[in-house]
Structure 1
Amino acid sequence: MDMKKLYISIAVLSLCGLPAMAQETYENTKLVDNDLNGTARYVGMGGAMEALGADISTMGTNPAGIGLFRKSKVDMSFGLVSQQDATKFNSLGKTNASFDQIGFVYMLNKTSNSVFNIGFNYHKSRNFDQILSAANTLDNASQNKLTYQKYRKGIFTDKKSMTYNQIDNLYMENLLYNNKDKKYYNFPATGYLYNEENKGYIGEYDFNMSGNINNRVYLGLTVGLHDVHYRNYSEYTENFAPNRDNIPGLTLNDNREITGTGYDVKFGAVFRPFDASAFRLGVYIHTPTWYDLTTSNYSTMTDGNVAKPTNESYDFRIDTPWKFGLSLGHTINNFIALGATYEYADYGAISTRIKDGGYYDSWSGSYYENSHRDKAMNAHTEATLKGVHTLKLGAEVKVMPELAVRVGYNYLSAMFNENGAKNGTVASPGSYYASSTSFVNWKATNRLTCGLGYTAKNFNIDLAYQYSAQKGDFYPFMNYYESNTSSPEDNIATMTKVNNKRHQLLLTLGYRF
């Protein structure tokens, strides 16, 4: 949908009560976009090991890769992550230590034609640490003018409406109303400054069973538990144009936290089509991750006088999309390893769910919760997000029997439609509980990797470097158009180009037994 034709909806959803709620599209995306992380060998090869296997990190992608282990093994990985072009903000610096992975594979049974392995692996599937800054001019526009236009359209007349948010409430109660003439006004701004700190991680705990049949067919199953710890602090400042109340501007401070757990199941297979060849074909499927989460915020506004803060907490559910993968792998004389992987997931199919409450079954002694799909927010998600294609390429060359050199490339296509916007007028609890109007339409991600591996008897030490680059378009708020022609009532946000460039140095220590 063209942004110039994006009008504020004035649909109002009247609810009879306020049960635990769903979430907003842009907040949901923070929980579904995984990093390239794991062992240094896996990262150094761009993650293209789903058909090659025999690496603990494949437990979380293609579970059948664990079936290629011929010995038991334990790995532990840690390192540094540094954000390029960033300046320390609040409590977060540009370079931070990270504990990234620990896991093992244990061989339960081995015969000449088959093996059966079990394994466990923890890895940090998402590192939220990021500083985001943006600044630009504004022309007859402001965040509070968007709230004012909602007021003009009558959205605030129904107190049970879900088409306004906590920021709107702050503006309506502390800025827009004039006590002298008992009327509402808006305050256009000349410019804005935005700074944001994201911290935390998603930890994934994978439990795996795998094996092979006649060294030709490898099968695997992984059950994953996901542990979410996300924290965000932002400061948004606007400088107002000259106004009747002589208010120079204001600053909004927002603290948001998301915590909770989820689970998924992964199925995978690796085939050797030709008995005399090391060529392998891998396929795998991931179910959605079914998340049960809690979010809370604490938001304040000041224009010289600190307004009464707003804070809310609620529970919600998210179902991520299915993921499908196809991979190729080949080794040459135990000297060269080549891998390629393609993945697809339709992020427009992310489902937010409203929790209706639950009931206690006295007969079984169990507590059950019910939920239903948030149709309005899911429609917005489908229009805003799209399918993501992932391409992984990797190569490993043993320059000596003990020393390996690795290179890789990893590409993710853009998740956001170019004209997507955080729409605070979607008739959804996700809109009502939002405490920020800003959003970024991130574009494709390109990752370049390289690494070294050294083996001494049963020990191995691996080092990897990863450079990740992603560009995005930052908007302080959604656009509002009064009509098809230009109007003083229009509220057009000025877009700012932003980027997220990261460097990662990763070390893995391993032991075979």
Structure 2
Amino acid sequence: MKSYLPFIAILFTLTASAQNPDYSLRMAWFNQNGSARNVATGGVMGSLGGEITANHVNPAGLGLFKTNEFVLSPGFLLNNNKFKYRGTDTVNSKNNFGYGASGLILSSSYKKNRKWTSSAFAISVNQLASYNNRIQFKGFNNMSSFSEQYLEELTRDLADTNAALSNYIFGSSLAFRTFLIDTANNASGIFSGYQSLVPISTGVNQHYDAITRGGYHEIALGMAGNMEDKLYVGGSLTIPVISYNRDLTYRETDATNDPNNQFSYFEFKEQFSSRGLGIGAKLGTIYKPKEYWRVGFAFHTPQLISFKDRVRASMTANTETYAGLRSEKSDNLNSGNPGNSNYNLVTPWRAIISASYVFREIKDTRRQRAFISADLEYVNYRGSRFSAEDQNDQALVSYYNMLNNVIKDTYKGNINFRLGGELKFHTVMFRLGGAYYGSPYKESELKAHRIMATGGVGYRNKGIFIDLSYAHAFNRDVQFAYRLNDKPNTFAEQTGSRGNVMLTFGFKF
């Protein structure tokens, strides 16, 4: 494939390593998550309402509440990953706890003969995405090497040896100090640039292993009004809270086992953490045009999130007779401190249109027998924008402007579709659903999608409810170990699945 990025102006300076387009996608491409009822029906919530998940999808749905409600939704996630990298398959799994929409809804009814018959307020928290996973793949490569990104960086910057030793302490300087990268001289013995000791022509065995933790959490404060049980209007103030950690180990070893080719192996390790806090809003309306029908529209504004990243890195390289076994850490070059990076991210906006058909649509919800609902969601993945926290730093401002152009060239807007329904037998409900999430990548060679099959049961009686659901996502994505400008990039094809078991219990009061 063609070079994945038209540029990579990576700033391995005395701050943390720079961001890349993957960071923005982490805050944009995720499955709909909510209560167990919502999960069981495929995530449909654009026009249904009457459920705490509405606070995070279409807040107008809060207007259907006529009672107060308290809800908790613990869950469990099961990751099963399969990676194919340059003809080699790797399988791993990682399970962890999660949660869905949980919180409190307070409703108020107004006097008769008023257009606005009731209103509701909600405060809730939801895990929009879980980052607990393991990305692991390996394969033989005689086309490129992880070390070449350092060559590109030093060459692009016209870095002299002093800069190579000290200015790129989370990457290129580690490679230079361990002699993985060294100077190259012309026939006259004059410095002419840099060279990698990795024997790419005969090939290396590459191994990528990243353990990730954390989640994309959202606190929502929502309010909605009900006009004559016909029109519902609502909005919520959202507070995204991001926690992301990655422990990366990347290794290349000589595929020939030749003790005289001046390369045995190198290993790069990185400990990265990112914390974010921001603000956004979600607005929506639900209308009942006729008996049994509901239609809904919701708009999620971009969220402005401020991030603080921290990174530590180390390199070990064995160049055999060239320089032997050498190791270096970023802590040794930065007075024992991690690298720091502070920046802002604006997430993509999204819009949802929805329709529901409710059998026996009447005010007494206990007598409703079933529903079927569908959501159509558009997400503008290419709309993410990074910005420097310090607008006076022109180098950072220029870097983020270029990175934003890369995002526009890499991603596209796309459609997500969700369909689900419920069948009710007095106090017991049965639910089924499904969803399709389209690829965010502009380039056709990067195949990605998510297909979900969902189901569950529920029990409601005397103001107490318990719901259990399971959602099975069939995933397809791509993972890059590194990216180069001067060569076609190679990537791992990711397939596999993620299971989501959700239990919701609550009571009305």
TM-score range, shorter chain: 0.7 to 0.9
* Pair 453,231 (structure 1): closer, same or farther in 2 beyond 3 Å: same
- The equivalent residue for 1:322 is 349
* Pair 9,39 (structure 1): closer, same or farther in 2 beyond 3 Å: closer
* Pair 372,105 (structure 1): closer, same or farther in 2 beyond 3 Å: farther
Q: Post-superposition shift, 1:99? A: 3.4
* Pair 202,9 (structure 1): closer, same or farther in 2 beyond 3 Å: closer
Bigger Cα displacement from structure 2, 18-27 vs 64-73 = 18-27
Counterpart CA distance in 1 for 2:400 and 2:387 is: 5
What is the correspondence of 1:327-342 to structure 2 with a 5 Å cutoff? 327-333=354-360, 334-342=368-376
Q: Post-superposition shift, 1:34? A: 3.4
* Pair 66,442 (structure 1): closer, same or farther in 2 beyond 3 Å: farther
2:105 counterpart letter in structure 1: V
SS of 1:235's equivalent? strand
Q: Provide TM-score, normalisation by structure 1.
A: 0.82
Counterpart CA distance in 2 for 1:493 and 1:139 is: 12
- The equivalent residue for 1:259 is 275
**Is residue 2:190 matched to residue 1:169?**
no
Q: Post-superposition shift, 1:20? A: 9.9
Which whole-Å deviations, capped at 9, do the CAs of 1:241-288 have from their partners, x for residues lacking one? 5486632111111111110201111111001112xx120110111110
Contact 2:3 2:489 in 1 (8 A): no
Counterpart CA distance in 2 for 1:496 and 1:251 is: 19
2:452 counterpart letter in structure 1: R
* Pair 202,401 (structure 1): closer, same or farther in 2 beyond 3 Å: same
Contact 2:148 2:484 in 1 (8 A): no
SS of 1:4's equivalent? coil
Counterpart CA distance in 1 for 2:353 and 2:72 is: 27
Contact 1:235 1:252 in 2 (8 A): yes
* Pair 446,164 (structure 1): closer, same or farther in 2 beyond 3 Å: farther
Bigger Cα displacement from structure 2, 411-420 vs 46-55 = 411-420
* Pair 408,9 (structure 1): closer, same or farther in 2 beyond 3 Å: closer
- The equivalent residue for 1:139 is 142
Which whole-Å deviations, capped at 9, do the CAs of 1:143-165 have from their partners, x for residues lacking one? 113422444555436969xx989
* Pair 159,250 (structure 1): closer, same or farther in 2 beyond 3 Å: closer
- The equivalent residue for 1:459 is 464
* Pair 219,139 (structure 1): closer, same or farther in 2 beyond 3 Å: same
Contact 2:42 2:454 in 1 (8 A): yes
Structure 1 regions of 5+ residues with no counterpart? 359-369, 421-440, 482-490
1:99 counterpart letter in structure 2: Y
Q: Identity percentage over the alignment?
A: 21
Q: Post-superposition shift, 1:305? A: 2.9
What is the correspondence of 1:10-21 to structure 2 with a 5 Å cutoff? none
1:229 counterpart letter in structure 2: S
* Pair 178,354 (structure 1): closer, same or farther in 2 beyond 3 Å: closer
What is the correspondence of 1:251-330 to structure 2 with a 5 Å cutoff? 251-274=267-290, 277-303=291-317, 304-309=325-330, 311-330=338-357
Contact 2:52 2:102 in 1 (8 A): no
Bigger Cα displacement from structure 2, 320-329 vs 176-185 = 176-185
Contact 2:437 2:451 in 1 (8 A): yes
SS of 2:25's equivalent? helix
Correspondent of 2:441 among 393, 411, 416 = 416
Counterpart CA distance in 1 for 2:453 and 2:342 is: 38
Output the aligned Cα RMSD.
3.2
Contact 1:353 1:372 in 2 (8 A): no
* Pair 511,153 (structure 1): closer, same or farther in 2 beyond 3 Å: closer
1:414 counterpart letter in structure 2: S
- The equivalent residue for 2:133 is 130
Bigger Cα displacement from structure 2, 69-78 vs 147-156 = 147-156
Which whole-Å deviations, capped at 9, do the CAs of 1:104-163 have from their partners, x for residues lacking one? 211123445611111111111111111111111111421113422444555436969xx9
- The equivalent residue for 1:447 is 452
What is the correspondence of 1:177-256 to structure 2 with a 5 Å cutoff? 177=182, 184-186=194-196, 187=198, 188=200, 189-240=203-254, 242=258, 246-256=262-272
Give aligned pairs, total.
459
What is the correspondence of 1:474-513 to structure 2 with a 5 Å cutoff? 474-481=479-486, 491-513=487-509
**Is residue 2:78 matched to residue 1:64?**
no
- The equivalent residue for 2:29 is 33
Contact 1:155 1:164 in 2 (8 A): no
Q: Post-superposition shift, 1:371? A: 8.0
Q: Post-superposition shift, 1:22? A: 7.3
What is the correspondence of 1:388-407 to structure 2 with a 5 Å cutoff? 388-398=414-424, 400-407=425-432
Structure 2 regions of 5+ residues with no counterpart? 84-91, 318-324, 332-337, 361-367
* Pair 101,442 (structure 1): closer, same or farther in 2 beyond 3 Å: farther
Q: Provide TM-score, normalisation by structure 2.
A: 0.82
Q: Post-superposition shift, 1:35? A: 3.3
2:281 counterpart letter in structure 1: V
**Is residue 2:102 matched to residue 1:105?**
no
Counterpart CA distance in 1 for 2:452 and 2:380 is: 21
Counterpart CA distance in 2 for 1:224 and 1:237 is: 41
Which whole-Å deviations, capped at 9, do the CAs of 1:148-199 have from their partners, x for residues lacking one? 2444555436969xx9893233223322126997774311242201111110
Counterpart CA distance in 1 for 2:223 and 2:157 is: 58
- The equivalent residue for 2:321 is none
SS of 1:141's equivalent? coil
